[in-house]
Copies of this chain bind each other. A is one copy, B any other.
Amino acid sequence: MDKLLYGVAYYDEYMPYERLDKDIQMMKDAGINVVRIAESTWSTHEPQSGVFDFSSVDRVLDAMHAAGIQVIVGTPTYAVPTWMVKEHPGVLATTVQGPGKYGARQIMDITHPTFLFYAERIIRKLISRVSRHPAVIGYQTDNETKHYNTAGDNVQLQFVKYMRNKFSSLDELNKEFGLDYWSNRINSWEDFPSVVGTINGSLGAEFAKFQRQLVTDFLAWQVGIVNEYKQEGQFVTQNFDFDWRGYSYGIQGDVDHFAASKPFDITSVDIYHPSQDELTGIEISFGGDVARSTKQSNYLVLETEAQAFWHWVPYPGQLRLQAFSHLASGANMVAYWHWHSLHNSFETYWKGLLSHDFEPNPVYNEAKTIGRDFARLSPQLVNLKKTNRVAVLFSNEALTAIKWFGFNFTSDKKYNDVVRWMYDELYKMNIGCDLIDPSAESYEGYDVIVVPALYAASDALLERLNQFVQDGGHVVYSFKSGFANEHIKVRSTRQPGLISEACGISYNLFVEPKNVSLRDDPFEVGEEQNQIHTWMELITPTTAEVLAWYDHAHWGEYAAITQNAYGKGKATYVGCYTSSEVIRKVLESVMKEAGLWGADQELAFPIIVKSGVNEQGNTIRYFFNYSDQATSFVNAYGDGTELLAGTAVSGGHNIELEPWGFCIIEQ
C-alpha cells in the first residue's frame, strides 16, 4: 500500500434516486479515497442467466476515477439471484434443518457445481471487464465466506471420501473416534451415516474441520480465477469476519483464517464492536491482531461501523478514536459499511456514514476530520511494522471440541470466552501480541505464548510447546488444555496430557466450582474477584510451585494455579476459570519474569498504547484514551513529535488526552 485508504462500501444499485455525482462530492469532502462495490448485487449484474448488465459498475468506476477515488471490486457470489434458485433449488445448502429457503445471503452450497458454474461465469465476466479500468486497485472474492452448515447428500459423499483418504482403514477410524459406542461403528464405507444426526463428538468435529476446508478450497478457487485477470499493482483480498455475538467477538469457528488467507495478496477483515459507553477498543485490537498475524503483514479493515445501530451511534470523538485505533494495530485501510443507509430490505437500521436523508450529520462531519488527517499523515502512518514478543495460540479444533464438550450445564461460556478472558487482560496491560494457530511450526521471536483452552491438540503441537519452554520460553496455559488429541479423543494418560511434563502437574478429577475461591487471596484481588467459576481441575503438583490453592472444605488439598521451571523456561498452568483480576495478575507476573514489562505497561486501560515502526524507520506510538473522562500521562518515551497537532513533545512531560481523545507521537 502506498498510502492510507479511507473508504466506504458504495451501492449505486440501492439508491432511491440518482445520487452518484452528489455522493462523490460528499465523499471527496470527507477524504474518502476508495470505495468497495459489487459484492452483493449479482441479480442486478446478471438479471437472467447469461444476460449481463454491468452498467452500474461501469458508471461508478468512471465517475470514481474522474474524482480520483479508487475502487475495490467484489465478486458478487455470496448472494445468489432469484433465477438461479428458481431453476436449481438444489444450489441452496441443505443443513441439519433441511433444505434451504431463498431469501437471505450466504445460503448456498459452496460445493455445488451448478453454483460454481454460474459463479465462475459471472466472476470472469465482471473481472475481465473491470481489470484494466484505471480506478480498480484490487478485488475482493465473495464476502464473509463460510460454509453455511452445508451438509446435504453431496457434501456427505465428499466427506466420506475425505475420511477414506484420511484413515487407512475403518478399523482405525472406529478405534480413533470410538465408534463402537452406542453402536455407531461403521463396518463398511457404504454404511457411513449422514453426520447431521451424529452424537459422536470426534465425528462431528471432523466434519466441522472438513467444512472449514470447503471454505479454504472455495476461496482459493475464486482467487485462481481472479488472478487470471489481475493486473500489476492490483491485489486480491477477502473480507473475513469473526465469531458474531452481536459484534465481532472472537475467533471465527467456521473458517480457518490462516489457511484460507494463504492465496490472497492481503488479508482484510470486518470489525464491529460495542460503542458509546461500552467502547473499549478490544475488538479493534483483537480483530486487527488476527488479521495482521495471518500474513504477518499490514491488513485492510474492509468494513467497520459508521452510525450503525441505535446502540452504536458514536459519541463525539469516538469515530476518530476508532479509525486511528485500526491504524495502530497495523491496518492500512479503514472503510465503513456503508456510505448511505438502506431504505429497504433487511439492514435498514444498520446505518452508514449518511442517514437515510443523505444530509451531513455529526458522524459524517467527524469522518471529514478523519479523512483530512489520514491524507495528511499517511506518509508517517502507512505500513506500520509491528513486532510482538507475545503470541496467543488459538485453535479452531479446540473451539469446535468445546462446542461438543462444554464447561458445564449451567454456564454459557464457550471457547472464545476463554480466549477473550486472557486476551483482554493483555490488551489492557498494553502487551502487544500476535495470534498463532496450530499450523505455526516455529515460535521464534516469541518470549511468551498464551494458550487458552487448547482442548484438542496433536501430540506434535504439545511437544512443540514443551520444547518452547525447554528452550527458555514462557507458556501460560488455561484449564482444559492438552486434554484431548486432534480427533477429540481424550488422552488416556494423566492429564493435562503431554504438557504435564512441562507444567509439573497432574490431575484426574475436575469439578464445577460452587462457592470456591483461592485460598488466602494470593493475588490480593479482594473477595469478589477471588472467586472462581465454571470449571476447576483438582491439580496435584509434581514438580510445580503452587501459586494458588483452592479454598474449599473438600477440595482444599488441590492446587488451582501452578508454575513450573522446565529447561530454561517456565510453564504456568491456570486450572480454573478465574476473574479478570486474577488472570491479569498471573499474566503480569509472567510478563515481568519474561522481561516484557516496560513503560507501556505502567500505563494501562483506559490508556491504550500501540506502537510500530513506520516506513521512515521511526517509532510511532499511539496513546488512546478509551474513556469519557479526560486524562493525562507522563511521556516516558523521550522527545518526539505529536503528529496530529504537529507539536514537539518532551520526555518526562505530561500529555493531556481528551475524553475519547488520542495522540500520535513519532520518535
Contact = CB atoms under 8 A, between A and B. Distances in A.
Interface stretch (A76-84, A434-442, A459-467, A631-639): A76-84
Contact of A182 (B17, B83, B105, B488): B105
A414 interface: no
Contact of A185 (B43, B198, B348, B409): B43
A541 interface: no
Contacts of A235: none
B492 A202 contact: no
A186 to B, nearest CB: 5
Contacts of A179: 43, 344-345
A103 B361 CA distance: 56
Given A191-B83, A344-B178, A494 B103 contact: no
A194 interface: yes
A178 B345 contact: yes
B191 A40 contact: no
B102 A178 contact: no
A184 B48 contact: no
Given A311-B409, A344-B177, A362 B509 contact: yes
A103 B344 contact: no
Given A182-B79, A190-B86, A361 B508 contact: yes
A356 B511 contact: no
Contacts of A175: 16
Contact of A188 (B16, B83, B188, B316): B83
Interface of A is mostly: loop
B40 A512 contact: no
Given A82-B191, A348-B405, A509-B362, A40 B246 contact: no
A16 B178 CA distance: 8
Residue in A103, A197, A345 with the greatest tally of chain B CB atoms within 10 Å: A345
Interface of A: 11, 13-14, 16-17, 40-44, 47-48, 76, 79-83, 85-86, 100-105, 175, 177-188, 190-194, 196-202, 246, 276-277, 307, 309-311, 313, 315-316, 341-349, 355-359, 361-363, 405, 408-409, 488-495, 508-512, 514, 535, 553-554, 628
9 nearest A-B residue pairs (beta carbon): A178-B344, A101-B197, A103-B197, A47-B187, A43-B185, A355-B508, A79-B183, A310-B512, A43-B183
24 contacts: A17-B492, A41-B183, A43-B179, A43-B185, A44-B185, A47-B185, A48-B188, A82-B184, A82-B186, A82-B193, A83-B191, A101-B194, A103-B193, A103-B198, A105-B182, A178-B342, A178-B345, A181-B342, A311-B409, A343-B489, A344-B490, A348-B490, A356-B490, A362-B509
